[in-house]
A and B are shown apart, each in its own frame.
Chain A
C-alpha cells in the first residue's frame, strides 16, 4: 500500500512556542491532505483539509491563525501550531487520498504526539 510519513513522531515544546509538523506522501502525489487531532481515548476529529496551491479549509471551531497549514507541494503538507499551549497537547494525524486508487482510499501517517509544557 501507499506510504504517508509524518515528522517528527514526538515533540515536546514550551508554552508559547511554535511547532511544525510535516506530512509527506512518499510514493504518490496528493493534491489534498487531511489533518486530524486525536485526544486520549477519543476518536479522530478532522481539523482541516489541506489543498495544494490554495488555502486550507478549516472545520468549524478550529482556529485558522493558530493552526497554520501550508500545502507546499504535491507530496508535502505542513501543520504549524503557533503559540502552543498545554491544551494543544494531542496526537496529530495526517492522511492523504490516493486519487488513482479505487474509491480514493485514504492513507494515514503514523501520527505526531505533541506535548506542550
Chain B
C-alpha cells in the first residue's frame, strides 16, 4: 500500500517570504500522480498543484511550485511571496493512475505579519 508522510506538523512564514513544505511517499508503481491540497478554515479542499510522475519538469502554478525528486520519492511544495490567505492546512496526496487518493497527515501553515 502507498503511504504519504509529512514530517512537519506546523510551519510558520512571514508575509512575503518563501516557505517549503516537505512530503515523502512510498510506492512500487512507476506512474502516478502527486498533489498538494489546501484546506482553509472553511474546510473546503482546494487543489493547489499536481505533478505527473512521468514528467521530469517540476510543476508550477503562480506562486506555488514543487520540487519533485522521483528517485528519492520526495515531493515538496514551495510557496513564494507568502500571503495571509495562504494560512491553512496543506495535505500532500498520492494517487495511482486510476486509484484512490492517499493523503498525508498535513502541515498547518501560519503566515505572520
Contact = CB atoms under 8 A, between A and B. Distances in A.
B101 A111 contact: no
Interface residues of B, number: 17
B43 A49 contact: no
B84 interface: no
B91 A44 contact: yes
Given A91-B43, A103-B33, A111-B43, A42 B105 contact: yes
Interface in A36-56: 38, 42-46, 49
22 contacts: A34-B100, A38-B43, A42-B105, A42-B106, A43-B91, A43-B103, A43-B106, A44-B91, A44-B103, A46-B100, A46-B101, A49-B100, A93-B43, A93-B45, A95-B45, A103-B33, A104-B98, A105-B50, A108-B45, A110-B42, A111-B43, A111-B44
A82 interface: no
Nearest to B45: A108
Contacts of B33: 103
Interface residues of A, number: 18
Name A's interface SS.
strand
A38 B105 CA distance: 11
Nearest to B52: A103
A106 interface: yes
